Amino acid sequence: MMDYTTLLIFSGIIAAATYVQTVTGFALGMIVMGAVTMLNLVPIAFTSVVISLVTLVNGLTAIKGERQALDRRRVGAVMIGIVPGLALGLYLLTFLSGTHQTLLHFALGLAIFVGGMLIMLRPEPLEQPSSQPVFMGAGLASGFLAGLFSLAGPPLVYLFYRQPFELKTIRICLLGIFLACSSVRTIMVGFQGQLTADVLIFSACCIPMVMLFTWVGKRFPPPLSSTNMRRLAFALLIGIGASLMLRAAF
């Protein structure tokens, strides 16, 4: 597993995805999982654990000094749903990783494709924030995808961007949820014995890239409007998702 060329390409993907997530609040997991699987670098289960670990670093670095923008009430409601969803997703990943690789790859492509479509949609913001049960339900769906693929983003991105919140609050809430979700997932996979030496080495090598490009994203956001940045992100995700589904189907 510990091939230096693989590690170099993996780190480059992590760097690009970290930058995108820092400036938008989402997409790290989808970009990394999709690109790594499309290039056939390492198995899905391996990639998902590394994503969880590097997301911890990205979240801690990105929300440093900005925690006052965190809506703790909504984040707490989401986390109530995330925990059981995580457990279910991890169980299904263990089952599918054995003898259903093609199905797993197709499901991953579908999840990324739908995630990109959800990001593309930009409905009018609600006049009033959604109810607590809605946030819990989104947390359950998000936790399931996080357990299966480390892709907690799509349901939450769609829900939070519909809320009548400031963009900064949305971004910090998403980053905070991904941080908490990755923490819980890492504990769960640790109990499953998946924190292997290769996983820890890959993660340790990627952490400097995560810290650097999180800082770059905070200090030097791209010369694009938030709308155009989201368009670029969803176009990339739709392309990755469609490619994975086609490969699995044919």
Concatenated DSSP letters of 77-102: HHHHHHHHHHHHHHHHHHHHHHH-HH
pLDDT at position 2: 61
Reading phi first (left if > 0) and then psi (alpha if -120 to 50, else beta), residue 150 is in: left
pLDDT at position 67: 76
Residues of the chain with pLDDT under 50: none
Integer Cα distance of 72 and 86 in angstroms:
20
pLDDT at position 77: 95
Q: Find the DSSP H helices in 121-131.
A: none
pLDDT at position 231: 74
pLDDT at position 27: 76
- Is the Cβ–Cβ distance between 63 and 208 less than 8 Å? no
pLDDT at position 177: 92
pLDDT at position 28: 83
Integer Cα distance of 18 and 53 in angstroms:
13
